[in-house]
Structure 1
Amino acid sequence: MNWDVLLDFSPFSKNWDAVLQSFWATIKLSLMTGILSLALGTLLVSMRVSPTPVLRAFGTFYVNTFRNTPLTLILLFASFGVGDTLGLNKVLNTYWLAVFGMSAYTAAFVCEALRSGINTVPLGQAEAARAIGLTFTQSLRMIILPQAFRSSVAPLGSVLIAMMKNTTVALVAGYVEMAAQMKQMFEEDGATLPIFLGFAVGFMVLTLPSGLLVSWLSKRLAVAR
Structure 2
Amino acid sequence: MSNIRHSYYSRREKVQAALEMIRRMKEKWADDPVMLHLIGELEPLVLRLAESYQGVDTRPATLEVQEADEARDRAGRAFFFHLKGIAYSAGPDEVLEAAGRLLHLLAADGLGWLHDSYTLQSQKTRELLDGLGELEADVEKCRARAFVDQIAITQADFEKKLTERGAVAAEKPEPVTAAAPEFERALTATLLMIERRPADTARAYVLEPFSRLNRRYRGGSTGQTPTPGA
Range into which the TM-score falls when normalised by the shorter chain: 0.3 to 0.5
Give the TM-score of the pair, scaled to structure 2.
Answer: 0.38
More helix by share: 1
Point out which structure has higher relative CO (alpha carbons under 8 A, 6+ apart).
Answer: 2
